[in-house]
């Protein structure tokens, strides 16, 4: 550490040297006197005991020189007048000023006129020193005891202290009078520089002690010369083991090699370099950053080392959060796609296949809605564990978000490998999950895309695997599907519809048509069902079977449903006023609409705005609404029924547990699906089923509406079976509002 501080002190001394040059230039010294004065000043700074000054300014030598040359006062004064940078004063035997040069005026503030004739002790000697100065002057005159040269503090005219180096000479003039001359050199700049140097040295020592970094001074070959460590526990080995030795002998081979490489680099490039390394310390694995700088004029290297273990851990945590899912700890979408890109490069290089398996948990939202997100999160974590059990070490499983996962298969040569893994996954998920004492059964739908057949890049393969997964959903879920070109066409159509659907309401592309409903026995119109139609300028007419599921999936069905409700009830109000009859309007509600907390208030507001009675409205609900079993569904149905609005179960007979729903929920109307009505005239099974359904509904106090009536024979059979109402092409297709007004007016005639 002494060597490190020595180099810093040299920088400080250079600053001192610079300060002195400024001082000398200010005093206008001649070249010869400048060199003499500089030499004296440097000698004093280097030797605080002032031995050199004493030798140089020895009064007896000067006196002998002056008396030997028999100089007179005038030539002596002329000599001193030329030395303006140094204060020279002359005193008689009574210590009265007989000479006061310009240097004295500058140093002490008194002009020649003010000083001449004044006593030494009254001018520049501080009060505590006056008796001592008078005594010393008297001893020199009377007893020839010289006043030694020394550093003393005198007084300026303004009262400030002035530190000078003072030398004295005594000689007898031609009149046999003794005269003493004082030669004073201002040490203020020197003292300031010394104080500054001392302050900086102490400051550096304090900084060194406060900084936790390690400092090493080495030769270019790696030999360690000196060090500093505020905490010696941070050292890899004790100082006695590394001072004077080459770092290669101390550090592990890999770390030593890294140090030597960067030392060679900094010597060649003459710039500072930094690098990181790790060491196994007694307290554990520790990470360091080293900064290497070359001191070329000394052929030495300065290395500063900092412990960055905490920063390294923080960076690792940030990297983990950036690349891994925080819930399941699986690779996230970003990392999974990056790995997929690497897998594809490898497959291309080795002429191999790769596969992307897209997985989506079936009906996972029901778990969150019914059991809460905490149970849902636990289910996702357990699902991640199961996925990892099936995969090979070289494969990757990641979470894309929500309940979507991705599996990346590398290096396989036959699609049967992908089938085997897909079937293993399906089988594994058929085992019940044990979550918080509950036994939950969860299935998944799987889509598979193969490289290079189904895509050459990560984005294409992921999109096609997603498309195949939707195909698996359409096949009934809990299965897998490979991507096909035909499937891509279907999904492309789906994406186009979804794109055009955004903004369709604002562009007024939707329109309501109404299919009239008839009393089977009287054949009079009793109301109508509102059916949505969509004509898009880009895609043309799009059937409800196409766009309703997409609207349901995207959530747009909520705003579209509100539009249908407002339009249908507004028309019903006009229709009733025109015909002077109490017609009813049947409107379909989707599962997504039931999750809208504002649904009931919206229905109330629309009825109030139109002035219609609640008995005029009939809401049709499919079995899909009821399958979730959510409490909010039951609550909404009860509240709707309490308002006096009719509830109708649509498409009855197409589900697998409709009878239980009829018993569980407050329905008023049951609609038999057209697929059964179509076969009642030629299929005994269909006839018997419709007959039983009508009888059962009547026993439960429900009215029956038959959908899809197209022939007079069908209508006759329905009348025989006591069906209440019917609708279908036999009566009328769904028609726009104006046509329905005309149709009903004509029919009533």
Helix (H), strand (E), coil (C) string for 57-97: CCHHHHHHHHHHHCCCHHHHHHHHHCCCCCEEEEECCCCEE
pLDDT at 49: 34
Contacts of 363 (CB under 8 A, 6+ apart): 477
**CA separation, residue 69 to residues 65, 72, 415, 623 (Å):** 6, 9, 119, 133
Alpha-carbon torsion, ordered 17, 21, 23, 29, to 10 deg? 140
Element (H, E) at 353: strand 353-361
DSSP 235: S
DSSP 483: -
Query: What proportion of the chain, given as a percentage, has pLDDT over 90?
Result: 39
Region class of 372: left (phi > 0), else alpha (psi between -120 and 50), else beta: left
pLDDT at 737: 95
The arithmetic mean of pLDDT across residues 227-245, rounded, is: 81
The arithmetic mean of pLDDT across residues 732-743, rounded, is: 95
pLDDT at 209: 66
pLDDT at 245: 87
pLDDT band at 665 (very low <50, low <70, confident <90, very high): confident
- Are 360 and 444 contacting, i.e. CB atoms less than 8 angstroms apart? yes
d(CA 444, CA 459): 22
Rounded to 5 degrees, what are φ and ψ at 540? 80, -150
DSSP 314: H
Contacts of 586 (CB under 8 A, 6+ apart): 517, 527, 528, 529, 530, 618, 619, 620, 648
pLDDT at 74: 66
DSSP 653: T
Residue 55 has pLDDT above 60, yes or no: no
DSSP 223: B
- Count of positions (residues) in the chain: 749
pLDDT in tens, 153-170: 999 999 999 999 999 999
Alpha-carbon torsion, ordered 708, 710, 714, 719, to 10 deg? 70
Residue 69 has pLDDT above 90, yes or no: no
Tell whether the torsion through CA atoms of 182, 183, 185 and 186 is positive or negative: positive
Strands 510-519 and 525-536: antiparallel
d(CA 375, CA 377): 5
Region class of 611: left (phi > 0), else alpha (psi between -120 and 50), else beta: left
The arithmetic mean of pLDDT across residues 317-339, rounded, is: 83
Residue 52 has pLDDT above 60, yes or no: no
Token pair, residue 699, equals 């026993």
| Residue corresponding to tokens 């007016």 | 745
Helix (H), strand (E), coil (C) string for 394-418: CCEEEEEECCEEEEEEEEECCHHHH
Contacts of 437 (CB under 8 A, 6+ apart): none
DSSP 234: G
Contacts of 37 (CB under 8 A, 6+ apart): 24, 29, 85, 86, 185
| β partners of residue 215 | 228, 304
d(CA 220, CA 685): 100
Residue 249 has pLDDT above 50, yes or no: yes
- Are 625 and 633 contacting, i.e. CB atoms less than 8 angstroms apart? yes
For the chain, domains (ranges, CATH) are 21-189 (3.30.450.20), 211-313 (3.30.450.20), 348-482 (3.30.70.270), 500-748 (3.20.20.450)
pLDDT in tens, 429-441: 888 888 888 888 8
The arithmetic mean of pLDDT across residues 268-281, rounded, is: 86
Ranges 253-262, 504-513, 645-654, 682-691: which has the least confidence:
645-654
Ranges 67-81, 168-182, 413-427, 531-545: which has the least confidence:
67-81
What ranges in 651-683 are assigned the alpha helix state H?
Answer: 658-664, 674-677
- Are 149 and 53 contacting, i.e. CB atoms less than 8 angstroms apart? yes
DSSP 32-65: HHHHHHHHHHHHHHH-TT-HHHHHHT-HHHHHHH
Instruction: Please name which of 474, 438, 525 lies closest in space to residue 747, comparing C-alpha atoms.
Output: 525
| Residue corresponding to tokens 């002032």 | 50
DSSP 529: E
In whole numbers, what is the pLDDT of the chain averaged over residues?
82
Rounded to 5 degrees, what are φ and ψ at 563? -60, -45
pLDDT in tens, 102-114: 999 999 999 999 9
Ranges 353-357, 362-366, 412-416, 534-538: which has the least confidence:
412-416
Residue 637 has pLDDT above 50, yes or no: yes
- Are 398 and 331 contacting, i.e. CB atoms less than 8 angstroms apart? yes
The arithmetic mean of pLDDT across residues 459-479, rounded, is: 87
Instruction: Please name which of 217, 181, 225, 223 lies closest in space to residue 71, comparing C-alpha atoms.
Output: 181
Cβ atoms within 10 Å, residue 59:
21
pLDDT band at 71 (very low <50, low <70, confident <90, very high): very low
d(CA 363, CA 347): 35
Contacts of 704 (CB under 8 A, 6+ apart): 669, 670, 671, 672, 693, 694, 697, 698, 723, 724, 725
pLDDT band at 1 (very low <50, low <70, confident <90, very high): very low
Q: Which residues of 566-585 are buried (b: 16+ CB within 10 A; e: fewer)?
A: bbbbbbbbebbeeeeeebbb
Cβ atoms within 10 Å, residue 492:
11
């Amino acid at each position: 550490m002494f060597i490190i501080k020595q180099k810093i002190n040299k920088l400080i001394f250079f600053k001192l040297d610079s300060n002195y040059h400024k001082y000398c230039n200010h005093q206008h010294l001649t070249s010869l006197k400048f060199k003499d004065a500089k030499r004296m000043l440097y000698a004093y700074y280097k030797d605080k005991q002032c031995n050199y000054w004493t030798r140089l300014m020895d009064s007896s030598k000067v006196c002998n020189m002056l008396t030997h040359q028999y100089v007179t006062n005038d030539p002596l004064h002329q000599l001193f007048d030329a030395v303006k940078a140094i204060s020279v004063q002359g005193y008689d035997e009574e210590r009265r000023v007989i000479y006061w040069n310009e240097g004295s005026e500058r140093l002490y503030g008194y002009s020649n006129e003010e000083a001449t004739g004044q006593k030494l002790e009254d001018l520049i000697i501080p009060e505590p020193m006056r008796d001592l100065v008078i005594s010393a002057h008297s001893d020199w005159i009377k007893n020839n005891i010289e006043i030694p040269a020394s550093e003393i503090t005198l007084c300026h005219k303004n009262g400030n202290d002035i530190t000078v180096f003072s030398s004295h000479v005594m000689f007898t003039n031609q009149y046999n009078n003794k005269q003493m001359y004082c030669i004073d050199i201002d040490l203020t700049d020197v003292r300031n520089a010394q104080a500054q140097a001392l302050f900086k040295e102490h400051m550096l020592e304090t900084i060194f002690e406060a900084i936790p970094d390690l400092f090493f001074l080495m030769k270019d070959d790696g030999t360690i010369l000196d060090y500093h460590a505020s905490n010696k526990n941070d050292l890899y080995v004790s100082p006695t083991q590394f001072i004077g030795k080459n770092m290669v002998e101390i550090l592990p081979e890999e770390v030593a090699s890294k140090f030597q490489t960067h030392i060679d680099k900094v010597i060649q490039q003459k710039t500072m370099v930094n690098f990181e390394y790790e060491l196994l310390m007694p307290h554990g694995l520790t990470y360091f950053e080293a900064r290497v700088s070359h001191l070329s004029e000394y052929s030495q290297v300065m290395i500063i080392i900092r412990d960055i273990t905490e920063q390294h851990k923080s960076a690792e945590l940030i990297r983990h959060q950036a690349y891994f899912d925080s819930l399941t700890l699986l690779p996230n979408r970003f990392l999974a796609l990056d790995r997929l890109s690497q897998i594809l490069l490898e497959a291309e290089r080795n002429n191999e296949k790769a596969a992307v398996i897209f997985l989506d948990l079936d009906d996972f939202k029901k778990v969150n809605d019914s059991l809460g997100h905490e149970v849902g999160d636990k289910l996702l974590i357990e699902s991640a564990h199961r996925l990892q059990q099936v995969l090979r070490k070289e494969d990757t499983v990641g979470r894309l978000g929500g309940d979507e996962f991705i599996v990346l298969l590398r290096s396989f040569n036959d699609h049967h490998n992908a089938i085997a893994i897909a079937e293993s996954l399906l089988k594994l998920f058929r085992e019940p999950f044990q979550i918080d004492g509950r036994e939950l059964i969860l299935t998944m739908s799987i889509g598979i895309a193969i490289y290079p057949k189904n895509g050459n890049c990560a984005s294409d393969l992921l999109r096609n695997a997603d498309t195949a997964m939707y195909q698996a959903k359409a096949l009934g879920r809990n299965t897998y599907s490979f991507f096909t070109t035909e499937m891509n066409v279907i999904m492309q159509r789906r994406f186009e519809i979804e794109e055009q659907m955004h903004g369709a309401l604002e562009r007024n592309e939707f329109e309501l048509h109404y299919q009239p409903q008839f009393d089977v026995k009287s054949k009079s119109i009793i109301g109508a069902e509102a059916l949505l139609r969509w004509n898009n300028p880009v895609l043309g007419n799009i059937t409800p079977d196409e766009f309703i599921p997409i609207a349901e999936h995207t959530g747009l069905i909520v705003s579209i449903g509100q539009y249908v409700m407002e339009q249908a009830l507004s028309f019903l109000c006009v229709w009733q006023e025109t015909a002077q009859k109490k017609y009813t309007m049947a409107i379909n509600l989707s599962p997504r609409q039931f999750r809208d907390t504002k649904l009931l208030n919206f229905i109330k507001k629309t009825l109030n705005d139109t002035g219609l009675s609640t008995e005029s409205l009939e809401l049709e609900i499919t079995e899909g609404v009821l399958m979730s079993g959510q409490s909010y569904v039951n609550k909404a149905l009860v509240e709707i029924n309490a308002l006096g609005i009719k509830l109708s179960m649509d498409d009855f007979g197409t589900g697998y547990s409709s009878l239980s729903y009829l018993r569980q929920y407050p329905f008023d109307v049951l609609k038999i699906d057209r697929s059964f009505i179509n076969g009642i005239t030629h299929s005994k099974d269909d006839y018997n089923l419709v007959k039983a359904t009508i009888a059962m509904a009547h026993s439960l106090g429900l009215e029956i509406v038959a959908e899809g009536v197209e022939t007079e024979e069908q209508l006759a059979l329905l009348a025989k079976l006591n069906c209440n109402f019917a609708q279908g092409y036999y009566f009328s297709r769904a028609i726009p509002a104006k046509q329905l007004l005309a149709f009903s007016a004509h029919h009533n005639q």
